Amino acid sequence: MTAWHNSPLLSVPVHAPGPEAPWSQVAADMTRRGNACVHTTWNEWPAEPGSPAVLRGLLGRDWARYRDTADATARHRFVASRLAIRYTAAAALGCGPAELDLSYKPGGRPYLRGFDQIDLSLTHTDDLIAVGISRNGRIGVDTEPADRRLSFDLLQDQVCTPAERAELAALGERGRSAGMLRLWTLKEAYTKALGLGLRMGFAEFGFATATGGETGLLTPDGSPATHGEWAFGTYPVAGRYLLSVACHDAGLGTSRDSAVATMLDEGFVGMVSSLLGPA
């Protein structure tokens, strides 16, 4: 697969094969760069981890949806994606996955109640699941099979800026297809980070399609659109997928310490612990 010049401000996605994964890398990435990204597959997670009581505690608000999902495969995929979010966030925040209150915004975007400064993004395709987390600002992740073919002729007007169309048109068929797929995942990741998704026209903003420099956001005519507050990357993962990440730095100068015990007021932590009861 093609290697792109990704932002050094982004943490390279790490593989987390289930609950027993080496989650320490997520904590290290959060400390070093303020963001982390995890990829996994749903079949690397147990379909029913522990007893029903343990699973209910892990799923929290998602327990009702899990209980009402009749198809066993769909239920397994659902558990895997929710636990991937919880274990990733727990590693980043230095707590247990059952201690987090995972909820969803009206459009379905996951968030952690009580952690307004932490942003989450979830994506999945086929058997791959990816989770992005950031304490610096918004984050978006998107993944596609690396062999997916997007028709340049059919999609160029809807997906590409004039500058992107000209650059891709000069490439051979193979390079054009790879460039289109990279652009698609980058634009999905960026609009997910903004909370807009496909509601934002993909031809209204662009990215460099060449491999000569760090990926940056461009206006439709190809000129720079930002001043370094956004970081972008596209990575080959799991042997057959592309994973793109878009991460915004709000410039708030947040603490490098993301541990729950030091981020939150001690009195508040004590109150939550008493409500949760003994472990």
CATH number of residue 37's parent domain: 3.90.470.20
Give the count of domains, the chain. 1
pLDDT band for position 274 (50/70/90)? Answer: low
Letter for the amino acid at 25? Q
Closest Cα to residue 19, out of 39, 46, 43?
46
Q: Which residues, including other chains, have CB under 8 Å from residue 164's CB and lie 6 or more apart?
A: 183, 206, 207, 209, 222
- The pLDDT, as a whole number, for residue 260 is 59
Q: Residue 250, Cβ neighbours under 10 Å: how many? A: 14
pLDDT band for position 76 (50/70/90)? Answer: very high
Residue 208 has pLDDT above 60, yes or no: yes
Q: What is the CA radius of gyration of the chain?
A: 19
Q: Which residues, including other chains, have CB under 8 Å from residue 177's CB and lie 6 or more apart?
A: 149, 150, 152
Letter for the amino acid at 14? V
| Tokens linked to 275 | 């409500």
Q: Quick one: how many helices (H) and strands (E) in the chain? A: 9, 11
- The pLDDT, as a whole number, for residue 1 is 45
- The pLDDT, as a whole number, for residue 199 is 72
What is the average pLDDT score of the chain? 88
pLDDT higher at 226 or 3:
226
Residue 212 has pLDDT above 90, yes or no: no
Q: What CA–CA distance (Å, rounded) separates 84 from 127?
A: 13
- Provide the 3-class DSSP secondary structure of residue 217: strand
Residue 5 has pLDDT above 90, yes or no: no
Instruction: State phi, psi for 183 to the nearest 5 degrees.
Output: -60, -40
pTM value?
0.87
Q: Residue 106, Cβ neighbours under 10 Å: how many? A: 6
- The pLDDT, as a whole number, for residue 139 is 98
Mean pLDDT of 77-84: 97
Least confidently predicted of 51-55, 198-202, 228-232: 198-202
Write out pLDDT tens, residues 97-155: 999 999 999 888 999 999 999 999 999 999 999 999 999 999 999 999 999 999 999 99
Segments forming the whole domain that contains residue 119: 1-279
The beta-strand segments (E) located in the chain are 14-15, 35-41, 102-104, 110-112, 119-125, 128-134, 139-145, 206-207, 217-218, 230-237, 241-248
Instruction: Name residue, tokens 């995972």.
Output: 102
Strand partners for 112: 102
Strand-strand pairing, 110-112 and 206-207: unpaired
Query: Is 238 in contact with 17 (CB distance < 8 Å)?
Result: no
Mean pLDDT of 240-264: 76
Write out pLDDT tens, residues 222-249: 888 777 899 999 999 999 999 999 999 9
* Gap between the terminal Cα atoms of the chain: 46
- The pLDDT, as a whole number, for residue 250 is 86
Residue 210 has pLDDT above 70, yes or no: no
